Structures are given as structure tokens and as C-alpha cells.
Amino acid sequence: MTSTPATSLPNAAPAPRAVTRPGWVWIAVIAALFVVLHGDFLWRTVRIATNAPSPSVLAVLRNLFSGSLNQDWSHSLVIPFIAIYYLYQRRAELARAPRRVFWPGLAVFFVGLISYAWWISPGRNDMLQGYSMILALLGLVLFMLGPSVMRISWFPIVYLVFAVKVSDRLWDEIAFRLQILAARAATVCLNFLTIDASVEGSTINIAKGVKSLGHLNVAEACAGLRMLMAFMAMGVAVAFLARRAWWQRLIMVCMTVPIAVAVNVARVTVMGLLFLVNAELAAGDVHKFIGLLMLIPALGLFLLLGWILDHLIIQDAPPEGAAPSPAAPAPPGALANPPAPSSPTPVKPAWIVQGVLFGAGFTILVGLTYILLFASVREGLLGDWLSRPTATGLLALTVLGLVGSVVAARRFSLPPKAAAKAAPDADSAAPPVRAPRRPQGRRAQTFGLAIGAGALACGVIGLNSILWANGVVRHRDTVEVRHPLFQIPARVGTWAKVGEDRRISAEEEEELGTLQHIMRIYRDTSVPEGSVGAEITLHVAYYTGTPDTVPHVPERCFVAGGLGNRGVTRVPMRLSGPQYNRKPGAITAQSLLQAGNVAIPALDFDATRFTFGLRGNRQANVFYFFAANGRFLATPDMVRLQGFDPRDRYSYYCKIEVGTLDVEDPQAALLRAESFLSAALPEIMACLPDWDDVTHGRWPVRKSSEASAPASSRGARE
């Protein structure tokens, strides 16, 4: 005798659908509003992943189909599809999960929304914008669908953090430490394979006996660590896409970074072996291909770890053919054959209108509360007409309005109380059955969805209106240099150029992050040749349209090359000479390159001094600062925080670095750097955009400066 499956019974209810047809309409509307609200950030993420030089759709598609993607963050394009696939895998669970409006989720949504607006301006942090967007999405889903659905959908929402570009400053710190670790571990592996190798910083020196064969710089040829976030995203996906116990997933997530580092150590070791065969195999497209190839063993290690964890504890399965366990007895008072559910209540347009209006009005109240909170702390924030006591009183009223609105809306969304209770049998000693919690019906669910749509629509209009009224620019355009950097004169004052500009490899240029740069040496002809401080190294690198990018500062690059860090300090720097003219509100200097005067932001400013150790217990000094949107700033953090006004349409910054490699005394080195910069800075500033021209619309002139760049400046891209 065989039992008939429940699904084959003639009166069996069909399997519930995860999303109904009206549900797809709601998803489309709310998703569209959410994307429009966060559209600038999402489009910026796509541009970063595709390395698009401009915000146009054509530029993004061109790079996407040509394969010119960002090796660090191209995986961001795949993350949303993995999240959607996770939801598709669990569609049956989503269909069975009860849905209800959960009002605490609305608070989470508005925290994310306000945080997103804050990090646009005045916070100005792209990474925290992305995290705020994910928090808002988490709160929105929790509010509209409730905790039961959130227990299933929390992972695909949180998984989106892997698509958010980590701040370059933070990422460089993490990657640099892992590069040092990878270089040391790879050196141990090469020595184990009887290859003479030593490491200084993140540079591996490969030798054969006493003869040095060359250097392998892990910091510049390390696509494996540059793909660290992709490795982590892949490991977390492998852990969660398969059904595993929570402790198994926790172990796999914790192993993502060790596996990524181990795979990269193997890659660097392979690069060292190829270096012995042919040094060209350790550079160029070959090392990029090997870096991508490392995804295969990384995936294999993750799958192997999952297989080990799956077979670590084996649970006994019920014997084949065993009778199913008897059904649990029904609770006292429950009906043996409950009636079939009635047809769903039709949606009334009034519910949608009321929900949208409530969502929009509630969003306006939240915005007023946010503004009044700052106005009650800072006097005159909104003008003289609103004093701090008045702002505090209005703040109290808006808070009461928010609380009252939630209470009223919650009462409106609940159905009437059920008066009937299950009456116990008079002859039964069973206790009376408590009335079940009032379920939220079609009206409550529709009302919650409409509130979400209204809040998003009001957020779109309000946020863009506020940013437009304050002139905040969401996407800064690039601004071209006036002259390519290689046109800086070979002679500036008493300083003359020595030899040719240093040419760097494609890997170094890719790591540097710009095509506009020069590296050269100048010698002071006014002192005898060979004198201490007679020679100066000059490195200038120009960046535009990317305010979050952190250029390679000496304290990272030099330490990666094996030099010791003896200290980083802020020092005052002063320019002087007859070529500078002080006028009320402006400083100009005579320039040979510009054939006239150029604007100089300041003659007294701060710079950063990095003192590093050389062999033989000697030390040297290098000084650097930044010219950013018409200002001189000492550090990369100051460039991000002070270098750009939120209303600037264009953005640029230029690292100016001067090294005194044979002057040990820091103060004497500072004097030599000031002497050189006093002569050279007018010519450097002649290459950069004149910020007064930029702000008054006289620059940029649309022309290609890259076409006239020498091979040393553009060869990496060709």
C-alpha cells in the first residue's frame, strides 16, 4: 500500500507563489524609486567597475564590451545578480513566510536615508554613502515585509557591501600590509624551492649565487591582492548559496582572507619562477592573466573547505521506507478541518492614496526634524529669523508629530478586533484558548507598501531639491591641464635637468593611477658638482575627477621598496624670490612656460616631510604637498576633507614631491627643497588649471593634451 503525495490530492491547495502579479508591480515601482533616489551613487559604482572615463552610457558600454574593466572592483557588477539568485533559491521559503508591516523598520530606513544625504554633503564619503544605501534598503524591506521575510532576505541585502568601493585610504592600508605579508611568505616558498631570494619591504630580490638577477615588486605586480574583495565575495557566496549550518558558514567566511592571501602567495611564487625563465613573463599582460587564473584555485579551495565541513559531522538519515512520524495533535479548541481561506479582499485605491500621502508627509516631518535638530544646536543656521529657542520648540513639535503619525497609521492599518473566541467544551477540563494575534490583512500590507513608495518619492524630490538649491555637485567633471607636465622647462632658475625623465613600467603606471606624471632630477648649477644637496628629485602626478583617489605617497612606496620609516611630520614651507608678486587678495609669479604671470595659492604653506633610512645607518628626506582646486594642502586626508567645495563642478589635485636623497639633516633638507621649489613652482603651476579661470568658465578648453604626451607618459595605455 502506497501513500499518495499531498500535491496529487484533488483538493490540495496549490503551492503559494513568492510574488503575485500585483506584487511584481509594487516591486517594479519601489525598485525604480529606490534606484532613482540612489542613482548617482549606483552610476558612479558602475563607472568605477568599468573604468569609464566619462559618465556617458556609451563610455560605460564601450569599456564593458571591450573588457577594459577595473581589476579591483569589476566584481561589483556581478554582486547584485548573486544576491538575486540567492532569493530565487529560497523562493519557496519566501512564499511561506508571513508578511506584515513592521514599524521599527521605518526608523531604520530613515536612519539610512538621512545618513546617505549626510555623506553626500557635508560628509563627502562615497564608501559610507554606499553603506547608508544598504542600511536604507534593509530598513525598507523590514518595514514593508516584516521580520519573517527579513530572516531570509537579510543575506542578499548585506551581501551588497561587496559591491561598495572601499575608501582608497583604508584599502591601501589593508592591501599594503597584506602585500608585505605575501612578499615574505613567497620568499620563504622560493627559498624552499632552492632559489636564492630575499625580501626588502614588498620587493623580492632574486639572485643566483652572488649575482643578482633582478627584483620582483609585489606592491606593483600584485593583482591577487588587488582582487582581495573579489576573493572574499566569492568565498561568502560559496558559503551561503549552499544550505549549511551557521557554524559552517562562519568558518568559511573567516577563511576568505587567509585563502585569498595563500592563493596570492602561490601566485607570487609562480611569478618568481617565471622570472628565472624570462623576466618579461613577470610583467605586462602575463602577470595580469595569472592573477585572473588564481580565481580557479581559490574557488577550488573554497569548495574543498565546504566539502570538508559538510562531511565533518554526519547526521543519521531516517531509514528508507520508514513510516512518517504521526502528525502532532491539534491544540484544544482547534478545528479538525479548518475552512478553506476566503478569497483575498480587493485592493481599494483609497488605501494606496492614503499610504502614499502618509509616506510623503512622514518623510517631510523627518526632514524638518533633521534640519531643526541642527538649527537648535547652531545659532543662525537657517538665518536670523529662526533663533535657537524657536528651533528647539519646533523640534519638539515635529517629534510629537512623528510619534502621533506612527500611532495613528498603525491603528489605521490593523483590522477590527476579533470578538469571537473559541469556546471550550463544557465537559472538557482544557483551559480556554487565547484569541490569536490579529493578523494584518490586505489593507495593512497595501498601506505599508504605499508608505514605502511615498517615502521614496518624497525622498527623491526633497533630496534633489535641497542639493540643487545649495548648488551641490554630485558628479565632478575632469579638468584638463594647461600644459602637459613633461613641458616643465629643463632649466628653472639655477637648477638644470639631469639626464632624461624616468620611464616607468605599465604596472607602475597602473599602480600610480594617472598618465599625467613626470619623474626627473635637477642639479643646482650655482654650487660645485657633487656638493651635498646639489641634486633634487622631482615627482609630479596629476589627478582629476577622482577626489577619493589616494596617490602613492612616499611613506608607502619607499617602505615597500625596503627603506625604513624614520618619521612623518608636518613642516612649514616658504617660497621666496623676485619672481613672486604680492597683490591684494592674490599672489602671482612669472613663468617661462606660460609666458606671463600665473596664480600661486600661497607662499607660506604646510608640507609633509618623510624621513627614511638608508643602508649604513644613513637617512634621507623627501617633501610633498598637493595643489588641489587652487589650494596647497599637506596630506591626502586634507585633500579629501578640505580640497573640494561641494559646489565645485570640476576637481583636480596634483602631488608635488621633492626629494633630497643626500641630505641627512631634516632642516638642511628643508632649505634645499624650498630653494628648488621657489624656482620650479611657477612652472609647475603653469601646467595646472588656473582655478580662477575654471570657476569663471574660462577653462577647460576642450582639447586633448594626451595626444601630445610622450611615450613615457602614455605608453602604458597603448
pLDDT tens digit string along 426-464?
Answer: 444 445 444 444 456 677 888 889 999 999 999 999 888
Flag the least confident range among 65-79, 138-152, 372-386, 556-570.
Answer: 372-386
Instruction: Give the CA count within 13 Å in the CB-facing half-sphere of 339.
Output: 3
The reply to whether omega before 331 is within 30° of 0 (cis) is no
Tell me, yes or no, whether 339 lies in a domain: no
Tell me, yes or no, whether 16 lies in a domain: no
701 and 621, same structural domain? yes
Whether pLDDT at 335 is above 50: no
Whether pLDDT at 500 is above 50: yes
Q: Cα separation of 47 and 63, whole Å? A: 9
**pTM score:** 0.78
458 and 546, same structural domain? no
Q: Cα separation of 398 and 686, whole Å? A: 54
pLDDT tens digit string along 620-648?
Answer: 899 999 999 989 999 888 887 777 777 88
Q: Cα separation of 464 and 470, whole Å? A: 10
246 grid coordinates = 551557521
Tell me, yes or no, whether 122 lies in a domain: yes
Indicate the helix (H) or strand (E) that contains 196. strand 196-200
| Amino acid sitting at position 209 | G
Residue 545 Cα distances to 49, 97, 514, 652, angstroms: 16, 46, 11, 6
The residue among 121, 141, 165 that closes a domain is 165
Whether pLDDT at 670 is above 80: yes
For residue 226, what pLDDT band results from cuts at 50, 70 and 90? Answer: low
397-412 CB burial, b ≥16 within 10 A, e <16: ebeebbeeebeebeee
Phi first, then psi, for residue 471 (nearest 5°) are 70, 25
Q: Domain total for the chain?
A: 5
636 grid coordinates = 591626502
Tell me, yes or no, whether 248 lies in a domain: no
592 and 502, same structural domain? yes
84-99 CB burial, b ≥16 within 10 A, e <16: eebbeebeeebeebeb
Contacts of 309 (CB under 8 A, 6+ apart): 244, 248, 251, 252
Phi first, then psi, for residue 661 (nearest 5°) are -80, -10
Tell me, yes or no, whether 493 lies in a domain: yes
Tell me, yes or no, whether 243 lies in a domain: no
186 and 91, same structural domain? no
pLDDT at 210: 61
Percent of the chain with pLDDT over 90: 27
Nearest to 562 by CA among 200, 216, 221: 200
**What does the pLDDT average to over 703-708?**
39
pLDDT at 383: 64
54 and 94, same structural domain? no
Contacts of 160 (CB under 8 A, 6+ apart): 79, 80, 83, 134, 137
More confident residue, 466 or 417: 466
Coil/strand/helix, residue 324 = coil
**Is residue 186 within 8 Å of residue 268, measured between CB atoms?**
yes
**Is residue 551 within 8 Å of residue 655, measured between CB atoms?**
yes
Nearest to 542 by CA among 632, 643, 654, 639: 654
**Is residue 221 within 8 Å of residue 227, measured between CB atoms?**
no
More confident residue, 98 or 615: 98
Whether pLDDT at 703 is above 50: no
More confident residue, 209 or 140: 140
**Is residue 291 within 8 Å of residue 227, measured between CB atoms?**
yes
Whether pLDDT at 485 is above 70: yes
Q: Cα separation of 403 and 392, whole Å? A: 17
Nearest to 267 by CA among 235, 233, 292, 304: 292
Give strand pairing partners of 517.
541
Tell me, yes or no, whether 233 lies in a domain: no
**Is residue 623 within 8 Å of residue 673, measured between CB atoms?**
yes
Tell me the pairing of strands 604-613 and 586-591: unpaired
Whether pLDDT at 188 is above 80: yes
The reply to whether omega before 700 is within 30° of 0 (cis) is yes
Q: Cα separation of 459 and 485, whole Å? A: 45
Flag the least confident range among 33-47, 133-147, 364-378.
Answer: 364-378
Coil/strand/helix, residue 610 = strand
The residue among 148, 165, 182 that closes a domain is 165
**Is residue 85 within 8 Å of residue 79, measured between CB atoms?**
no
Percent of the chain with pLDDT over 70: 78
pLDDT tens digit string along 228-242?
Answer: 788 888 889 988 988
pLDDT tens digit string along 241-254?
Answer: 888 888 888 888 88
**Is residue 684 within 8 Å of residue 469, measured between CB atoms?**
no
For residue 316, what pLDDT band results from cuts at 50, 70 and 90? Answer: low
* Residue 414 neighbours by CB distance under 10 Å: 16
Coil/strand/helix, residue 493 = coil
For residue 217, what pLDDT band results from cuts at 50, 70 and 90? Answer: low
Q: Cα separation of 373 and 123, whole Å? A: 17
CA angle, 181 then 187 then 192, to 5°: 130
186 and 116, same structural domain? no
Instruction: Give the CA count within 13 Å in the CB-facing half-sphere of 608.
Output: 21
pLDDT at 305: 86
Average pLDDT along the chain:
79
**Is residue 522 within 8 Å of residue 535, measured between CB atoms?**
yes
Whether pLDDT at 672 is above 90: yes
702 and 673, same structural domain? yes
E-state strands within 244-352: none
Nearest to 631 by CA among 659, 656, 657: 656
689 and 645, same structural domain? yes
More confident residue, 574 or 329: 574
674 and 607, same structural domain? yes
Domain range holding 49?
33-72
**What does the pLDDT average to over 670-676?**
93
**Is residue 488 within 8 Å of residue 684, measured between CB atoms?**
yes
pLDDT at 705: 39
276 and 130, same structural domain? no
**What does the pLDDT average to over 362-391?**
78
pLDDT at 682: 94
Q: Quick one: DSSP state of residue 408?
A: H
372 and 279, same structural domain? no
Q: Give the orientation angle of helix 442-469 with respect to helix 388-413, to 10 degrees.
A: 150
pLDDT tens digit string along 599-610?
Answer: 999 999 999 999
Residue 505 Cα distances to 122, 124, 258, 356, 711, angstroms: 39, 33, 30, 58, 11
91 grid coordinates = 523562493
- Residue 503: left if φ>0, alpha if ψ -120 to 50, beta else—which one? beta
pLDDT at 153: 93
For residue 673, what pLDDT band results from cuts at 50, 70 and 90? Answer: very high
More confident residue, 551 or 377: 377
Residue 477 Cα distances to 36, 38, 362, 544, 656, angstroms: 21, 19, 36, 8, 22
680 and 696, same structural domain? yes
For residue 687, what pLDDT band results from cuts at 50, 70 and 90? Answer: very high
The residue among 453, 475, 497 that closes a domain is 475
pLDDT at 292: 67
Tell me, yes or no, whether 641 lies in a domain: yes
Indicate the helix (H) or strand (E) that contains 197. strand 196-200
For residue 567, what pLDDT band results from cuts at 50, 70 and 90? Answer: confident
